[in-house]
């Protein structure tokens, strides 16, 4: 069965909203965007014909543009808290299925959550991600999905090159699962115990923060 193409609505074309629009469009998703800035809207018309200039975000305006037909609507208006909150409420009233809103403070996020929006804190999330990456020291990247689930991207250590996954026993020694291996030519998503690590492999590991730190500590001691 062919996978349904998702349709996303983006309200507000600041740096966050614009970057989100380009990324979603690059995946083949259908997007709809709106902003009061004519220049920003004109730029986005290069990737979607559903790019609208909007002044006041009234309920009828949002409905006429068709945001209620989107699978997900992302409200990227964090600077004007009152406008952000009212926009979420208006989207709910026209029947939007899922609303995600950008928040610029804990108080802003708390209000948005109470009226039914999912919350993102772009600056805070990036700061936490960078802090975790710096703390680990050896990781190329680090994403904290929850207290129990973390994903880190690391270069294969020299001790692993030429050995199989079974021989390195990453799960038994560190409590980490390999979820993918990236080489210069391909990405391995089906992980088999007899896979032999090659130089320049990139390993994607998943596990608890403690497990990730245990691996990082071992790696540091092998240098």
CA atoms within a 13 Å half-sphere pointing along the CA-CB vector of 216 = 21
**151 contacts: CB under 8 Å, gap ≥ 6:** 142, 143, 145, 179, 204, 205, 206
The answer on 81 and 57 residing in a single domain is yes
- Render pLDDT for 60-109 as a digit per residue (tens, 0 to 9): 999 999 999 999 999 998 678 889 999 999 999 999 989 999 888 888 88
Q: Which residues pair with 150 in a beta bridge?
A: 144, 207
Tokens of 202: 């990139």
CATH number at residue 204: 3.30.70.1450
**Of 190, 142, 196, 188, which is closest to residue 168 (Cα–Cα)?**
196
The answer on 19 and 116 residing in a single domain is yes
The answer on 129 and 114 residing in a single domain is no
Number of domains comprising the chain: 2
CATH number at residue 46: 3.40.50.720
Q: Domain residues for 60? A: 7-120
The answer on 165 and 100 residing in a single domain is no
The answer on 176 and 84 residing in a single domain is no
Determine the Cα–Cα distance for residues 220 and 147; give it in Å rounded to an integer: 23
Residue 41: count other Cβ atoms within 10 Å of its Cβ. 17
DSSP codes of every residue in 185-201: S-EE-S--TTPBP-TT-
The whole-model pTM stands at 0.61
Residue 117: count other Cβ atoms within 10 Å of its Cβ. 27
pLDDT in tens, the chain (223 residues): 455 678 999 999 988 899 899 988 988 889 999 999 999 999 999 999 999 998 888 999 999 999 999 999 999 986 788 899 999 999 999 999 899 998 888 888 899 999 999 888 776 555 555 555 555 555 555 566 555 677 888 888 888 999 999 999 999 998 989 988 988 888 888 889 999 999 999 888 888 878 887 888 787 777 6
The answer on 107 and 16 residing in a single domain is yes
User: Residue 138: what pLDDT?
Assistant: 54
């Amino acid at each position: 069965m062919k996978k349904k193409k998702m349709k996303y609505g983006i309200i507000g074309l600041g740096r966050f909203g614009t970057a989100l629009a380009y990324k979603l469009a690059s995946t083949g998703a259908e997007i709809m965007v709106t902003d009061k800035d004519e220049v920003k809207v004109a730029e986005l018309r290069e990737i979607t014909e559903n790019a609208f200039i909007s002044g006041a975000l009234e309920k009828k305006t949002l409905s006429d543009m068709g945001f209620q037909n989107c699978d997900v609507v992302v409200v990227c208006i964090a600077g004007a808290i009152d406008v952000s909150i009212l926009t979420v409420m208006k989207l709910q009233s026209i029947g939007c299925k899922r609303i995600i809103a950008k928040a610029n403070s804990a108080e802003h996020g708390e209000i948005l959550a109470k009226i039914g929006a999912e919350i993102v804190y772009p600056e805070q999330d990036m700061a936490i991600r960078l802090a975790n990456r710096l703390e680990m020291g050896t990781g190329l990247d680090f994403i904290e999905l929850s207290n129990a689930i973390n994903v880190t991207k690391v270069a294969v250590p020299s001790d692993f090159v030429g050995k199989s996954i079974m021989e390195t026993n990453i799960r038994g020694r560190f409590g980490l699962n390999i979820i993918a291996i990236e080489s210069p030519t391909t990405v391995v998503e089906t992980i088999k115990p007899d896979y032999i690590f090659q130089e320049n492999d990139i390993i994607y590991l998943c596990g608890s923060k403690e497990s990730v730190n245990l691996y990082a500590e071992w790696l540091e001691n092998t240098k």
